Amino acid sequence: MTLAGPDGESKHDRASLDCLLDPHVIAVVGASRDPAKWGRRILEYTGRAGFGGALYGVNPAVADLNLARVKTVAALADIGQPIDLAVLARPAPAVPELLDECAALGVKSILITAAGFGELGGEHLEAERRMVARARDAGIRLLGPNTFGMFVAASGVNLTPREHIPPGSVAMLSQSGNVVVGMYEQARQAGFGFSACVGVGNQVDVGLGELLAYFADDPASAVIAVYVEGLRGSGAEFRAGLTACREAGKAVVVLKAGRSSQASSAVATHTGALASDERVWEAVLAESGAILVESTQDLADALAIAGSVGRHRGRAMVITDGGGDSVLAIDWLTASGLSMAVLSAETRSGLEKLTPAAAPRVEACNPVTLDTAGGVEDDPILLARCARLAAMDEGVDLIVVGGLFGGYPKMLDRELACAAELIDLHKSGHPVVVQSAFALSDAEPISWLRESGITVLPTVDRVAIALSRTLLPPANDARPSTADTSARAPGPAVLPVTDSADALRFVGIDVPPISVVRTPRDLAVAAAAASYPACVKIADTAVAHKSDVGGVFLNLADAAEVEAAAVRLWARFPGSPLLIMPSLAGGSEFLVGTGSDPLFGPFVVVGKGGIWAETDPDLAILMAPVDEQAARRALLSLRCAPTFIGGRGRPGIDIAAMARLIVAMSRLAIQRPELSVEVNPVIAYPDGYAVADVRASRRRGE
């Protein structure tokens, strides 16, 4: 399989990763007789993991490692057959010579665990670059360095520091070994396991993007988890990997670390302050439908739900054994973006008959609370009966069972019968999620649920948050980011306003007539030719916020008023050029800007414009290219959308025209990636829009 990024560049083929992730001959260089040494442990773990190929331990000082299924050799050359994977369990200084040896023998892939390479910078980074160049010349794939290793269940390979990894269908790709090991314990509690765990380390060759594409095509992996701090090189391959997972119908859950870092690029526009590297990451993940989480617990819970429930529309039926649990469930589920399912009259009638006479009721029969005589405390099977009835309703997407399930030891048989019913319901395509105060206990009913794929979590807030992560994106799925950032690095060269306007015209965006004047003579000529009413503003490229400094005069009726305004501006800003253009009618003000992220490339920002653009960020970021449908979704995703879609006697804006403007700005972002161009405000009307101001900057040296 050949991978291609959004730029069309051909990537590595799948076969080159098979030799790494599905090897038939593995050689561990640095194997030891010391049971505490990593080079011995991975041989033991892989030998017991069901590896069906040939396993070699390489150590010139040991005649026999005394490991079942492991052949001991003094050197790689003694193996006498093609080597798919060489694991270099040796310190960093020994790696270059070993790599040369591997190249001479035609080794297909190498896993390097040692730290002490590019992450230290300086001469270590140079050594890493030489190592990568040597491997590429020899056609060797490299995983690492500075990696905790890899585990692939289907291949029977466990080249990691931990042996007892919970089995399951999650493929985890990580830049941190500790995060993965911590996830093992959380996975056991949440009831899921792993088909694979791969540490990418420094990503000198095999990186997250290529691995995403590989596991998108892996039948043993239903969900992909990613812990990422950053990427090496271009982000195109990462985006291609996310796209491959989306096309394969596999959820990708991402924990992004380093979210508080400063803005990725500095531009002298609002866009530079608003579009931090974190916002671009959010946009990249959103466009592929990936799920962004905020903590390891959040990651574990979302993985459990993604594996057991999948993506869903969020219409929940709640059944509990306590009134407090019902109220909390309503609060948390609705606050998290889910909805309480609206039941048919037939379903309500059936649930009414099942609910004990003294139990509290709501007219909609959702939630159902079974906490009185004749309820769950008398017979837990009642939970399952209500769940089965509700699941038949077309308005119900999932069943949330809450309360104290697993905490009725005197009715263990009835709880087990209820568990069996819930399991049958879940496996028949009616997703069930359980919240129980006894979720972390070893109660047998809880174990049954988990072992059968039902997610059991201890609190309703964790259930609600995890379910919100896995909601299907709504039609307006380009959601605005709300991360706060004001970091701005110096350096971009701001273009004259006429050059900025020309950049817009270059992609077909209409810009009102603009005149820039520097002398009274120029002013008189421009005032005579201006359209009225007109406006005059300072055109000093050093001033980003003209209205903040009193640098704008609007609605000037004639040439005399224009000249008077100019005199006042020159008195306050001596030597500043002035801009004369038509004064525009009021309307809904937007910001539309372009930028280019170092990893992911060109993007477009669209949001609330005018003087409050930075004070109250309300925006969406779209990765270029953008089509009109995506542009419309972005506009309708803004918090301010209700103010411009029309109503209460006010006309709406021309959304189609605004979408075309965003598409044109997308073209500009691609064609002129060295520029950051911002239209703010662009004034939207019921029948079009008008550009009120434009500002562009070019990165130094471009």
* CATH code for position 379: 3.40.50.261
| Helix intervals (H) in 355-492 | 381-391, 412-427, 444-451, 460-469
pLDDT at 614 (0 to 100): 64
Which residues, listed in sequence order, are joined to residue 596 by a DSSP beta bridge?
602
At 615, is the pLDDT very low, low, confident or very high (cuts 50, 70, 90)? Answer: low
Residue 499: inside a domain, yes or no? no
Residue 127 shares a structural domain with residue 165 = no
At 484, is the pLDDT very low, low, confident or very high (cuts 50, 70, 90)? Answer: very low
Q: Is the pLDDT of residue 486 over 50?
A: no
Radius of gyration of the chain (CA): 31
Residue 410 shares a structural domain with residue 429 = yes
Q: Is the pLDDT of residue 251 over 50?
A: yes
Q: Is the pLDDT of residue 269 over 90?
A: no
Q: Is the pLDDT of residue 264 over 60?
A: no
Using a pLDDT cut of 70, give the percent of the chain over it: 91
Distance CA 581, CA 24 (A): 72
pLDDT at 702 (0 to 100): 53
Residue 272 shares a structural domain with residue 370 = no
At 197, is the pLDDT very low, low, confident or very high (cuts 50, 70, 90)? Answer: very high
pLDDT at 698 (0 to 100): 85
Q: Spell out the residues 6+ positions from residue 321 whose beta carbon is closer than 8 angstroms to its own.
A: 369, 370, 371, 375, 376, 377, 383, 402, 403, 404, 405
At 477, is the pLDDT very low, low, confident or very high (cuts 50, 70, 90)? Answer: very low
Of the residues 143, 175, 197, the one at which a domain ends: 143
Check if the beta carbon of residue 358 is closer than 8 Å to that of residue 373: yes
More confident residue, 444 or 377: 444
426-463: pLDDT as tens digits? 999 999 999 999 999 999 999 999 999 999 999 999 99
Distances 170 to 222, 225, 240, 241, 252 between C-alpha atoms, Å: 6, 7, 20, 16, 10
pLDDT at 647 (0 to 100): 67
* Domains: count for the chain: 5
pLDDT at 700 (0 to 100): 53
Check if the beta carbon of residue 375 is closer than 8 Å to that of residue 356: yes
Residue 460 shares a structural domain with residue 327 = yes
Q: Is 84 helix (H, G, I), strand (E, B) or coil?
A: coil
pLDDT at 8 (0 to 100): 38
* CATH code for position 595: 3.30.470.20
- Interval 281-300 mean pLDDT: 93
74-84: pLDDT as tens digits? 999 999 999 99
Residue 107 shares a structural domain with residue 165 = no
Residue 340 shares a structural domain with residue 319 = yes
More confident residue, 173 or 550: 173
At 120, is the pLDDT very low, low, confident or very high (cuts 50, 70, 90)? Answer: confident
| Helix intervals (H) in 392-442 | 412-427
Residue 493: inside a domain, yes or no? no
Mean pLDDT of the chain: 89
Distance CA 96, CA 592 (A): 50
pTM of the model: 0.82
Half-sphere CA count of 254, side-chain side, radius 13 A:
28
**Residues spanned by the domain of 53:** 2-143
At 697, is the pLDDT very low, low, confident or very high (cuts 50, 70, 90)? Answer: confident
Name residue 263's amino acid.
A
